[in-house]
Structure 1
Amino acid sequence: MTTFTGLHHADEPLLLPCAWDHASALALAAHGFRAVGTTSLAVAAAAGLPDGAAATREQTLRLARTLGPGPFLLSVDAEGGFSDDPDEVAGLARELCAAGAAGINLEDGLGPADRHAAKIAAVRAAAPGLFVNARTDTHWLGDGEGTTRRLDAYLGAGAHGVFVPGLTDPREIAALVRGLDGVPLNILHSPAGPSVRHLADLGVRRVSLGSLLYRRALGAAVEAAAGIRAGLAPQGAVPSYDEVQALGRRARDEDDGTASSERPWYG
């Protein structure tokens, strides 16, 4: 079986779509995505809570337990670990491993680099089989200053890969790749930024879609409702009731080894 770490060193970069529930994850996996992530924005929004506020630990674990047994490798967006205490973050990592997760994404939120490094080291010690993707928010929340210093600290603490969302300039991406000397760089896909093919040419090894699919789904739902109100027919793929039901049946069949080889609309 292909390992999650191995996907970061394959011929093509890992394109990681992010799901928000069981159906979205199974539909993505059925379409050939070997790994699926979660998006903290969707977890928070579904619970009526703010993203990035360390408020969704239990909801994140609940989703991981739902998706962990699925026919894909799971990476969990865990914000900053939902705590400033490295031991508590390590406990979360153990629970994610037990749920079946293959990776964890931890963001620094521009907090102290040594504190984030301590969290990474604690996760590595508590859950050595978990791929740790260390995110710095220097470009997401700041002007990019200190990126290399922070990444060096996180790699020194044992991170397997690094994530710099908000970085879109091709020259800066290429320079960062060179400085990482083979460590997988993760970039957040931006519709206005380089294409996945361009990012691959620059040496990026992982391209995350973040909350994009969830936000597109929300937009499509509102657009469809407003269109119907205006007398228009919905556009785009619309799975039937039975096809969505089949996602649940597929998961149960895979659990008992009786999955059908037929691929419905989402495959």
Structure 2
Amino acid sequence: MTDRRAAFRALHHAGRPLLLPNAWDHASAAALARRGHPAIGTTSLGVAAAAGRPDGLAATGAETLALTRRLARLPVLLTVDVEAGFSDDPGAVAGYVAELAGLGAVGINLEDGRSDGTLADPGCTADKIAAVKAAVPDLFVNARTDAWWLGVADPLPQALARARAYRAAGADGIFVPGTVDPATLRVLTERLDAPLNVLYQPGGPGLDELGRAGVARVSTGSLLFRAALGAAVAAADAVRAGGLTVPAGLPSYAEVQHLVPAGRD
């Protein structure tokens, strides 16, 4: 196991949950790294929207690869959202992920939700996980099940069954976006032998409360991208109305320029 991959794995056993902010381009990732976050993920929605492509339709494999190549240069541990692997062929998924790992990614996020709003066959997702682990054994595979995200009936049994299948296939962590209910999270952490990842919910439990429920990792998902997009639109509206007040902490032109080392493409 490489030192970087081991370091990323250790962050899931540090006591307090790992806060994993999700970036969508070089500037957002570099700025987050400079704020001291030890690890950063990508957000598939942000990457897709920035490229003018839809999320969840396996349309951004090339963009995700190119972004990984840029972000891997940063002094931060990087895990990459690959949707459902950009393919239904386990071998193709493993080959793609091996390329990401070769660029420096220490982990991936692989989901079982489909674009039509249904859950993929768990055996298919498990086969992808097994193929990835065979290709890159020490890569951290975070297996996402969308039982809550897609609003399926009685999601807890579905999530547990899928998580166990993914864990048996070699998944290192389990991601359950859509629920932050502490009682539900305790059931999951008690019954699953793997670090549990949840999606941060504004107004919901904070890191300490989620940690007490057994959560190991908290992702921001597309939240930061959507917040930045909303702030940009609000600023433009304010300029048009003639009343923009510069927000406190707004990066200067020079500060943004310094996010990209001289001579880098």
Q: TM-score, normalised by structure 1?
A: 0.91
| 2:237 equivalent to 1:226 | yes
Q: Quote the offset at 1:56 in angstroms.
A: 0.6
Q: Quote the offset at 1:251 in angstroms.
A: 9.4
Unaligned runs of 5+ in 1: 253-267
1:105 to 102, 109, 120: 109
1:166 to 167, 178, 187: 178
Separation of aligned partners in 2, 1:228 and 1:49: 29
What's the secondary structure of 2:203's corresponding residue? Answer: coil
- Which deviations, in whole Å up to 9, do the C-alpha atoms of 1:23-60 show, x marking residues without a partner? 11111111110000000001110121111111110001
Unaligned runs of 5+ in 2: 114-118
| One-letter identity of the residue aligned with 2:166 | Y
1:84 to 88, 103, 123: 88
Q: Quote the offset at 1:13 in angstroms.
A: 1.2
Moved more, 18-27 or 156-165: 18-27
- Which deviations, in whole Å up to 9, do the C-alpha atoms of 1:197-227 show, x marking residues without a partner? 1101111000000010000000000111111
Task: Say if 2:16 and 2:208, in contact at 8 Å, map to a contact too.
Answer: no
| 2:252 equivalent to 1:248 | no
Which residue of 2 is the match for residue 206 of structure 1?
217
Separation of aligned partners in 2, 1:75 and 1:108: 18
Which residue of 2 is the match for residue 259 of structure 1?
none
Separation of aligned partners in 1, 2:41 and 2:75: 13
Q: What is the CA RMSD across the aligned residues, in angstroms?
A: 1.4
| One-letter identity of the residue aligned with 2:183 | R
Q: Quote the offset at 1:169 in angstroms.
A: 1.4
- C-alpha spacing 1:250/1:152, structure 2 compared with 1 (3 Å): farther
Task: Say if 2:15 and 2:211, in contact at 8 Å, map to a contact too.
Answer: no
- C-alpha spacing 1:212/1:154, structure 2 compared with 1 (3 Å): same
Q: TM-score, normalised by structure 2?
A: 0.91
Separation of aligned partners in 2, 1:234 and 1:34: 29
Runs of 4+ deviating beyond 6 Å: none
2:129 to 120, 133, 140: 120
Task: Say if 1:75 and 1:105, in contact at 8 Å, map to a contact too.
Answer: yes
Separation of aligned partners in 2, 1:108 and 1:74: 21
Which residue of 2 is the match for residue 45 of structure 1?
49
Q: Quote the offset at 1:91 in angstroms.
A: 0.6
Task: Say if 1:224 and 1:235, in contact at 8 Å, map to a contact too.
Answer: no
- Count of aligned residue pairs for this structure pair: 251
| One-letter identity of the residue aligned with 2:230 | G
